[in-house]
């Protein structure tokens, strides 16, 4: 690829899931911030009903696929099922086009919270005790029987494959269980019941640089996680409060970074990920979940983490595009934001 020709980046947003609006916001922000002197941006959008739009005009799937196939790199800013779960990475791979973010397998496993717990446990990372229920099992679930596996209340009930805390409930009493299971089942055909972890919610971001090295950004603490979890309303109504960097004992900060690096590698992630953890009063680090395509507006958590140590949003996006290209054996010349990695590493 010539270094004088702009790189054609097809940004995909929206999504046929409950995170549709988040995906619209991420894609619009990414498309607007990519350096126009380096990148030629084309837009695809997946509607709530699964239909496609090209440059905001309705199009058929074959027409959308032709736009995707014309890309030098695909940037799938779609969160949740049928996007972040490896679906779009698979589509790009079949089209022979590099994709920003994780490959098919990593996206699919990380979206599956139960599978992620199994990988974490096998990797020596602590997770909350939990039970997996199918939708049929959830209809007849018994709190007493669940307690034998999950442990004492309170519990967190969530869809196995989902994000942005949609369908997530806290259960403090047995009579609340049925409603929580029904809410989670409305979003997925499998439900995860976990013992609530008492502690601070601390998230970290992992960025893969074009040379293959991993950089872990500063930890971010969620200060107003309602009822023991960061619910969807708090995430998006403007009331969320964060501490960045989170005030942590250096040993705890090192453990969180080790957890993030371990899971990024063991899950087979690429490009970027946000790893969400709990820190107990005793200083133990317990995994909550791994997001392989977290929110990507300039005000989203991952960009804010890196911005706090001098990595500007356009540079972050350029790094992601260059990493995808170089991972596929292509290049547009020297990576544009080498200074970004230096800034992050100096802040550690």
**pLDDT (0 to 100) of residue 347:** 41
118 three-state secondary structure: helix
Show the tokens assigned to 324: 């995808």
10 Å Cβ neighbour count for 284? 14
**pLDDT (0 to 100) of residue 232:** 53
Please report the DSSP string for 3-65 in residue order: TTSPEEEEEEEE-SSTTHHHHHHHHHHHHHHS-TTTEEEEEEEE-TTS-EEETTEEE-HHHHH
Residue 115: pLDDT over 50: yes
The helices-and-strands tally (H runs, E runs) of the chain is 13, 16
Bond from prior residue into 245 cis (ω within 30 degrees of 0): yes
Beta bridge partners of 273: 206
d(CA 153, CA 311): 42
Q: For 27-41, 82-96, 150-164, 302-316, which range has the lowest pLDDT when averaged over its residues?
A: 150-164
Show the tokens assigned to 293: 């395509």
Q: What is the mean pLDDT of residues 218-230?
A: 74
**pLDDT (0 to 100) of residue 233:** 53
Contact 287, 120 (CB under 8 A): yes
Q: Which domains does the chain have, with CATH numbers?
A: 7-100 (3.40.50.20), 129-195 (3.30.1490.20), 198-347 (3.30.470.20)
DSSP label at residue 71: -
Q: How many CA atoms are closer than 13 Å to the CA of 68, on its beta-carbon side?
A: 30
Contact 316, 304 (CB under 8 A): no
Residue 339: pLDDT over 60: no
115 three-state secondary structure: helix
Span 233-258, pLDDT tens digits: 555 445 678 899 999 999 999 999 99
Contact 239, 185 (CB under 8 A): no
pLDDT category at 340 given cuts 50, 70, 90 is: very low
**pLDDT (0 to 100) of residue 329:** 72
d(CA 124, CA 127): 9
Residue 330: pLDDT over 60: yes
Contact 1, 333 (CB under 8 A): no
Long-range contacts of 199-202 (CB under 8 A, 24+ apart): 199/278, 199/279, 199/280, 199/281, 199/284, 199/286, 200/246, 200/278, 200/279, 201/225, 201/229, 201/230, 201/276, 201/277, 201/278, 201/288, 202/246, 202/248, 202/256, 202/276, 202/277, 202/278, 202/279
pTM of the model: 0.89
Nearest to 281 by CA among 195, 200, 220: 200
């Amino acid at each position: 690829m010539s270094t004088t020709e702009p790189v054609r980046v097809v940004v995909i947003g929206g999504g046929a899931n409950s995170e549709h609006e988040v995906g619209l916001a991420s894609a619009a922000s990414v498309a607007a911030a990519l350096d126009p002197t380096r990148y030629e941006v084309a837009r695809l959008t997946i509607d709530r009903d699964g239909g496609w739009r090209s440059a905001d005009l309705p199009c058929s799937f074959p027409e959308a696929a032709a736009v995707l196939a014309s890309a030098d790199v695909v940037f799938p800013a779609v969160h949740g099922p049928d996007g972040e779960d490896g679906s779009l990475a698979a589509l790009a791979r079949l089209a022979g086009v590099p994709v920003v973010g994780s490959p098919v397998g990593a996206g699919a496993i990380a979206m599956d919270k139960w599978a992620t717990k199994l990988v974490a446990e096998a990797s020596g990372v602590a997770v909350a005790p939990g039970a997996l229920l199918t939708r049929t099992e959830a209809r007849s679930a018994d709190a007493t029987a669940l307690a034998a596996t999950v442990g004492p209340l309170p519990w967190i009930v969530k869809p196995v494959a989902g994000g942005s805390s949609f369908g997530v409930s806290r259960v403090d009493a047995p009579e609340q269980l049925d409603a929580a299971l029904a809410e989670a089942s409305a979003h997925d055909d499998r439900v995860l019941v976990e013992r609530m972890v008492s502690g601070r919610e601390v998230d970290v971001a992992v960025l893969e640089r074009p040379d293959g090295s991993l950089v872990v950004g500063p930890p971010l603490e969620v200060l107003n996680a309602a009822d023991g979890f960061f619910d969807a309303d708090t995430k998006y109504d403007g009331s969320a409060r964060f501490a960045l960097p989170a005030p942590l004992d250096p040993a705890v900060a090192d453990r969180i970074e080790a957890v993030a690096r371990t899971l990024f590698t063991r899950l087979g992630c690429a490009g970027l990920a946000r790893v969400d953890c709990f820190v107990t009063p005793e200083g133990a680090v317990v995994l909550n979940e791994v997001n392989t395509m977290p929110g990507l507006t300039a005000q989203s958590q991952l960009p804010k983490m890196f911005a706090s140590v001098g990595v500007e949003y356009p540079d972050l996006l350029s790094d992601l595009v260059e990493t995808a290209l170089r991972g596929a054996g292509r290049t547009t010349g020297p990576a544009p934001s080498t200074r970004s990695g230096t800034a992050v590493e100096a802040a550690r």
